[in-house]
Structure 1
Amino acid sequence: MNLEVASGPFDVKLSQEPPSAAAEVAGIGRMSLDKHFHGALDATSRGEMIAFRSTTPGSAGYVAMETVRGQLAGREGSFVLQHSATMTRGEPALSITVVPDSGTGALQGLTGHMTIEIAADGAHRYRFEYALPPR
């Protein structure tokens, strides 16, 4: 399958959530995600992130899962994104991947990965490289 590309802005709201007892002892924070993607991916998502921030400035890590519901290139359904990110003294490394076989509706069989950019003014943009089986 050839990869297609969807890109555009997205809005995100992060809300602090109470940590589990184990996470609290370990110093791990928990947040809920609420996003709205615009462009060829016209969708909303809800998810959860857990994160740790080191005492070394600019070093941290997070993992997250989010379910995306809406339309991708005119095809409606949902899919799950899995995030894994680290920041090493200000140098980011981020992986956002479609969970295999998580697509529903017209998005069944979806594969792909996403990158995000955060501008100096805080504006968020995504680039989603994906493949879908033929209709």
Structure 2
Amino acid sequence: MNGHATGTFDITNWTELATEDKEGATFGRNHITKTFHGDLVGTSTTEILTVVTPQGPAAYVGVEHFDGTLHGRKGTFTLQHSAGSHNGEQWMKWQIVPTSGTGELADLTGEGAIRVDDGHHYLLDYTLPEA
């Protein structure tokens, strides 16, 4: 089954674990918790590594563990994040880590994006075996 999930999420906690200033960039490590609404309903924990430069371009990579439901199917899965910005343009991509799905989300694959404007919005295109 091919599917399309959309909705929003709230960041419920953002803990800065470490920062390090280097010449031309500041590196950080953060732990984030989220609550999801819409086609994904549940919570997640995320670890991200960030880089910010004095000129403004920034990037992050991370991994996120989701626990909840996707269109009513219960389980967990892991997302790999990749994001950046340049000249005011942002891009944030997700990739479902293959074989990370459990429960009714076993064998879930797919990818999507995050958009930030008046909140955090997600899009996830996925493939899931028939129930």
Bigger helix share: 1
1:43 and 1:16 map into 2 onto residues whose CA distance is: 20
In structure 2, the residue matched to 1:132 is 128
Partner SS for 2:12: strand
In structure 1, the residue matched to 2:113 is 115
Give the AA of the match of 1:51. T
Partner SS for 1:133: coil
Please state how far the C-alpha of 1:99 moved relative to its aligned partner: 0.5
Deviations 1:57-84 (A, max 9, x none): 3x01101111000011111110000001
- Runs of 4+ in structure 1 displaced over 6 angstroms? none
Maintained 8 Å contact 2:42/2:69: yes
Deviations 1:77-123 (A, max 9, x none): 1000000111122222322110111001110000111212211x3x1
Please state how far the C-alpha of 1:17 moved relative to its aligned partner: 2.4
Partner SS for 1:106: helix
Maintained 8 Å contact 2:7/2:36: yes
Maintained 8 Å contact 2:4/2:125: yes
2:86 and 2:127 map into 1 onto residues whose CA distance is: 31
Tell me the matched-pair count: 128
Which consecutive residues of structure 2, in runs of 5 or more, have no partner in the other structure? Answer: none
Normalised by the size of structure 2, how large is the TM-score? 0.88
Maintained 8 Å contact 2:15/2:32: no
Deviations 1:5-35 (A, max 9, x none): 111121113523232xxx6264311111111
In structure 2, the residue matched to 1:63 is 61
Percent same amino acid at aligned positions?
39
